[in-house]
Structure 1
């Protein structure tokens, strides 16, 4: 898995326990074309090919169009991508750890670039909020 940039001006790590097995969590998390059905902050997600490293996808969140490239696709364990928007570069990683029919979902992200440096404080705050929301929505979608 490609590591996040721990020296980036904007970074965040969070985790949540979901009462579902890793297979179910994986199915929801990696079905990019269906993200908007449960992730309320995402619009028009589109996977441009197969779910495998080097495949790109496009999506919108918070009004920003993002072009991303998958770097890690390890079923039921690791899922990650890089993304670019407005001169910023992000690395986004998900790790699934299953124990007793529950899955601990950990997510890590770093963002760098001119705007990430310029708006470091507000971007860190919005990334923390957005990431927690994404985890909460993923939990709700998987526990249905």
Structure 2
């Protein structure tokens, strides 16, 4: 079935309006730097795993940002742009998104946190390592995601965030326990 020129013009106009709205939403989005996940964000997760390794060993794996892709196949091209310290940025790709993040917390063997933005989204991500009496480590991850795209596709982002963090924790456990 052929579309007439008026239908094509209407479709083109509608697509142009959507594209303009996306560009405006992206250009006008402001995300304040934060060290704590936003409890009102549309997508959030809080997960914990027990790793049979001391915090020092877990930290050794987790804090080597440039090596994440070696043990976490969901991540590609991680690059820390300076020393591992608050204020240092890093770039990485996960789930098809190129992300620019900045470290806000670096406490060796205890905590690592960053915030970062990608197209239509902003996340605050915190890892906490807690030594256990048996020599293992409890690793807790809290993350919030917000932004115009996260709000628009909240169920998709929530499901993706939960499953992504679950995989990260499982792979961190595997890597730290074999190291």
TM-score interval for Structure 1 and Structure 2 normalised by the shorter chain: over 0.9
Query: Relative contact order (alpha carbons < 8 A, sep ≥ 6): 1 or 2 greater?
Result: 1
Distance 2:45 2:130 in 1: 19
CA–CA distance in structure 2, aligned partners of residues 80 and 35 of structure 1: 15
Question: More strand per residue: 1 or 2?
Answer: 1
Tell me which structure has the larger Cα radius of gyration: 2
Q: Which has the higher helix share?
A: 2
- How far apart, CA to CA, are the structure 2 residues paired with 1:67 and 1:3? 17
- Partner Cα distance (2:102, 2:35) in 1: 12
TM-score between the two structures when normalised by the length of structure 2: 0.79
Aligned to 1:72: 105
Matched positions, count: 144
Corresponding residue number in structure 1 for 2:81: 48
Runs (4 or more) in structure 1 with deviation over 4 Å come to none
Unaligned runs of 5+ in 2: 1-33
The residue number in structure 1 matching 2:170 is 136
Alignment-derived partner of residue 33 in structure 1: 66
The 1-side partners of 2:126 and 2:159 are apart by 19
Q: What SS does the aligned partner of 2:60 have?
A: helix
Question: Would the aligned equivalents of 2:75 and 2:95 in 1 still touch at CA under 8 Å?
Answer: yes
Query: How far is the alpha carbon of 1:87 from its aligned partner?
Result: 2.6
- Residue 49 (structure 2) pairs with residue 16 (structure 1): yes
Unpaired segments ≥5 residues, structure 1? none
Please state how far the C-alpha of 1:11 moved relative to its aligned partner. Answer: 0.5
Whole-angstrom CA distance in 2 between matches of 1:87 and 1:37: 28
